[in-house]
Amino acid sequence: MKQNRSNRNGIGLPTCLSLVTATMVGTGVYTTLGFQLQDLSSGFSILCLWVLGGVISLCGALSYAELAARIPRSGGEYTYLSEIYHPALGFMAAFVSLIAGFAAPIALSAMAFGSYLHAAFPFCPVHLSSWIVVLLISLFHLRSLQVSSLVQVAATALKFLLVALFIAVGFWSLFRNAGAWAVLTPHARSAEELLRPSSGIALIFVLYAYSGWNAVTYLAGEVRSGGRIVGLSLVLGTLAVALFYVMLNAIFLTSAPLSELRGVLNVGSVAAQHLIGPSGGRIMSGIISFGLLASISAMVWAGPRVIQRVGEDYPIFAWLARRTATGIPRRAILLQLLLVLGLITGASFETILLFAQIPLLLCLILGVSGLLVLRKKEGGLSRTLGSRPQFTCPLYPLPPVLFILCSGAGLLYSAISKPMIALSGMVIMLLPLTLYRWISRQKKS
């Protein structure tokens, strides 16, 4: 903890907030509504799921805020699961984070970027644009921590300014057309829809859109004032994004016929075309594609820190721990870049999303459960710090328990509806657990 308190040149609250919000507000909110409408027909049911996703994510953020205060080190789930349970589970979480937590979401964001950029400028090819944007952003983050921080804050601020303008136009149009509100009102089948197993798939899409609320924990060791700033950024960022998501989806649902949104990837473009005409749709597509740059940047920045931590702890991966003179984990960034380019080339958007989200949620459930374990072992004081943590979870144990139960229900529904994708997602959890025994023989004492 002393290291964090003395880290005066570390990351501050504005950068942490921009990292959380930029990671969360990315591909999911601009792409998943079309897939949700394949299983649900009620706008009210869909908004309920977005509110529920916000509550679940806030519960997770509150739990992780205390975990970050008790264990003020970088690495996210890798660090928490290693120290709370067993290094084997931590190694598994690092493997999942590498593929499902960062490489897959970066690939999805890049694919969405290519799709929206093509809608704004038809001469830009989708796949080539996806490749180029990941390459360029990775090169930016090979410079220095200060450059990364400046680029992240500026891109996030401009992103939210532009999208806030779209929301203002959407609500202005909505209040002028009172009949549009009808799609958001409950009907006889709304409650029935929410209880179907198919709503579990829709909830997985929603939770994917909220994923990233834990982004700062991967860089916690580089944050000023450690646990306090990390905890505040997690909670404030999640609350802001939840409000933003509900408003944005209300605009999408009321701006265009549901039949035109169903199964469509770039729902924002379709909604904007109905709001402000074809030229407005192209402008909105350009705004969203620019906004996705901040999300890609946030994940490209945070992801390699997990790989770097693994390299520090396991000699067989020591080559990944090496940093440049400015503290940048260059090799870890390049490894992540190769994985992202492979996913963009070889898989569809929906397959990557479901494949990645299932193991990722399981790791988050284990991480949140770790707070229950720590509280039982250490009580109100932290064994690591020898004092009360800088942030404690309010209404404990309600937030962690609610997160575990709701996320678990969503996973169960998903496994019933898409068993093969769920099984393939489990493979990336079992593989590192099987290899751990061999790898741990060379682990540092």
Domain boundaries, the chain: 2-52+100-210+240-368+406-440
Give the pair of three-digit tokens for residue 129.
């644009």
Q: 223 - beta bridge partners?
A: 11
Q: What pLDDT score does 53 carry?
A: 93
CA torsion sign, 259 to 260 to 266 to 270?
negative
E strands, 162-249, in order: none
Q: Coil, strand, or helix at residue 142? A: coil
Q: What is the pLDDT along the chain (445 residues), one digit of tens a residue?
A: 344 444 555 678 888 888 888 778 777 788 888 888 888 888 888 999 999 999 999 999 999 999 988 888 878 898 999 999 999 999 999 889 888 888 988 998 899 899 889 888 988 898 899 999 999 888 887 776 666 667 667 777 777 777 787 788 888 887 887 777 888 888 777 778 877 776 777 888 898 889 889 888 887 777 776 567 888 899 999 999 999 999 999 999 988 888 888 888 778 888 888 888 887 778 878 878 887 887 788 788 878 878 888 888 888 888 888 887 777 888 888 899 999 998 888 777 877 877 787 888 899 999 999 999 999 988 766 655 556 777 889 999 999 999 999 988 878 877 777 788 778 778 888 889 988 888 877 654 4
DSSP string covering 351-383? HHHHHHHHHHHHHHHHHHHHHHHHHHHHTTS-T
DSSP string covering 381-438? S-TTTSS--S---TTTTHHHHHHHHHHHHHHHHHHHH-HHHHHHHHHHHHHHHHHHHH
Question: What DSSP character marks residue 72?
Answer: -
Q: Coil, strand, or helix at residue 258? A: helix
Contact 254, 33 (CB under 8 A): no
Q: What pLDDT score does 368 carry?
A: 96
Question: Tell me, what amino acid is at 380?
Answer: G
d(CA 307, CA 336): 9
Q: Coil, strand, or helix at residue 23? A: helix
Question: Which of 290, 287, 338 minimizes the C-alpha distance to 107?
Answer: 338
Phi then psi for residue 321, to 5 deg, are -85, -10
Size of the chain, expressed as the number of residues it contains: 445
Measured in Å, how far apart are the chain's first and last C-alpha atoms? Answer: 22
d(CA 318, CA 303): 17
Q: What pLDDT score does 84 carry?
A: 93
Question: Which of 256, 292, 296, 249 minimizes the C-alpha distance to 272?
Answer: 256
- Between the CA of residue 21 and those of 209, 212, 357, what are the distances in Å? 11, 8, 19
**Residues 6 or more apart whose Cβ sits within 8 Å of residue 300:** 106, 134, 137, 138, 141, 333, 336, 337
Q: What pLDDT score does 316 carry?
A: 84
d(CA 221, CA 145): 13
CA torsion sign, 314 to 88 to 70 to 10?
positive
Question: Tell me, what amino acid is at 370?
Answer: G
d(CA 445, CA 433): 20
Give the pair of three-digit tokens for residue 324.
């440049």
Q: What pLDDT score does 442 carry?
A: 64
Q: What pLDDT score does 312 carry?
A: 83
Q: What pLDDT score does 353 carry?
A: 78
Q: What pLDDT score does 1 carry?
A: 37
Give the pair of three-digit tokens for residue 196.
């179907």
Contact 393, 62 (CB under 8 A): yes
